[in-house]
Each structure stands twice: as structure tokens, then as C-alpha cells.
Amino acid sequence: AQTVTQSQPEMSVQEAETVTLSCTYDTSESDYYLFWYKQPPSRQMILVIRQEAYKQQNATENRFSVNFQKAAKSFSLKISDSQLGDAAMYFCAYRSERGSQGNLIFGKGTKLSVKP
């Protein structure tokens, strides 16, 4: 069974600086998707970024980028120029590539605080 591990329960960053959130996963599959979701205090789950395992190029969405290391099964999220609104829980998630039906498997999350 696949597992997702986020080893940092909490992280803190100064406004305008850069922070990296770690995620590792375990799978025997070769094709899959990886995601980062943001959960602010409202508890809404917001998709931040996604990565297809077959793509070597790291995904980027504005200030958010990932470092995807397939061999190491590592998928970290980098947030540049951190803003107060980035403060939230961040969940790493894995999804099998088998069709479109696979459910998401989440890590336990990292709580990010942004200091003004």
C-alpha cells in the first residue's frame, strides 16, 4: 500500500522569505500523481500544485514550485516570497494513475506559520 510522510509537523517562515516543505512517499507503482493541498483555517482544501510522475520537469505555479525526485520518492514544496495568506496546513497527497478513479492518500500535514 502507498504511504505519504510529512516529517515536519510545523514550520515557520518570515514574510517575503522562502520556505520548503518536505514530503516523501512509498509506492511500487511507476505512474502516479502527486499534489500539494493548502488548508487554511476555514478548512477548505485548495489544490496548490500537481506533478505527474512521468514528467521530469518540476511543476511551478507562480510562487509555488516543487522539487520532484522520483528515485528518492521525494516531493517537496517551495514557497517563494512568502505572504501572510500562505499561513495554513499543507498536505502532500499521492494518487495512483490507474484510470481516473484513484483516491488520494494524504500525509499528516505541515502547519506553516508566516511571521510579519
Partner 1 sequence: EPEVTQTPSHQVTQMGQEVILRCVPISNHLYFYWYRQILGQKVEFLVSFYNNEISEKSEIFDDQFSVERPDGSNFTLKIRSTKLEDSAMYFCAAGGVVMGEQFFGPGTRLTVL
The binding track of 29-58 with respect to partner 1, each residue x by CB under 8 A or -, is ----x-x-x----xxxxxx--x-x------
110 is a contact residue toward partner 1 (CB under 8 A): no
Minimum separation from the CB atom of position 112 to partner 1 (A): 16
Which of 109, 110, 112, 114: binder of partner 1 (CB under 8 A)?
Answer: 109
Span near partner 1 by CB under 8 A; candidates 16-24, 58-66, 77-85, 87-95:
87-95
From its phi and psi, is residue 27 left (phi > 0), alpha (psi between -120 and 50) or beta?
beta
- What are the CA-CA distances from residue 87 to residues 12, 45, 75, 90, 107 (Å)? 9, 13, 20, 9, 18
Lookup result for grid cell 505555479: 61
Between CA 38 and CA 45, with CA 11 as vertex, the angle to 5 degrees is 10
64 is a contact residue toward partner 1 (CB under 8 A): no
Q: Do 38 and 90 contact (CB within 8 A), yes or no?
A: yes
Which residues in this chain contact partner 1 in the complex, by CB under 8 A? 33, 35, 37, 42-47, 50, 52, 91, 93, 95, 97, 100-101, 103-109
